[in-house]
Amino acid sequence: MRPVLSLRSYPPHETEHAHDWHQIVVPVDGTMQMHIAGQDGIVDDSSFVIVASQARHRFTTPHSGHFVVLDVPTGAGFFGLPDRLVHQAEGQPFHPLDAGLRHLAHYIAHDAAAPARRSDLLDRLGGMLLEAVAERSGDRLHWPPALERAVSLLGHGYDATLTVQQLAVAAGVSVSGLHALFQRWIGISPGRYLADLRLREAEQLIRETRRPLAEIALAVGFSDQSALTRSLRRRRSTTPAALRRGD
């Protein structure tokens, strides 16, 4: 079984339960007050929570909010939580929410809210979240070496002119082999992964710099400013108003 990813909101009344799977809850907006493992904690813009299987927990959301939730089956092999992280969650379920994980939650919320793309994206997005959480605990989900090389190349300052063919050569596999690896482990083609990466990089540059949009477009690999603008508009059109920042 694979993890199940969803974007959820909760009614403002107290709920108490336990479940047969592990659960990662990362806030997009709003606050959740929770009691778990003998501890009181808050899930907000500075913290997220990992709920171990069978852990009885009580929670409430005083105000409306949205949360990225990943249900992770126990004994799920590659797609499960590392044992060390499960043991840690049993004693210390609350974890700091850094800027990178916060941005990932917003990215997931944006794409998970697009009904036309849900079936293509949710497996990949769930894998990204699981990988990010595992890395922050000092663990890492182990991909095949060729996929590790490809993703590492993309994640450490990729060349804006990089093609899928060049990426395959760098990873040491054929183009078809690279496609198979991305589909098997991430759930999307390498071309789509690269396009999403470039769009996220563009969005970050727009937020954090004053560089002209045309310059940003070329810097991250879009053919021109119009291509970037169309991609940004498509992203925005699939984002619910409640999730938009600055509106």
Q: What is the pTM of this model?
A: 0.58
CA geometry: angle at 56 spanning 53 and 61, to 5°? 105
Q: What is the pLDDT of residue 243?
A: 37
Residues sharing a CB contact under 8 Å with residue 74, sequence separation 6 or more, in sequence order: 20, 21, 22, 53, 80
Assess contact for 66 and 7: CB atoms under 8 A: yes
pLDDT above 80 for 118: no
Convert the pLDDT of each residue in 28-83 to its tens digit: 988 999 999 788 999 998 999 999 999 999 999 988 789 999 998 886 554 577 77
Residue 239, pLDDT > 50, answer no
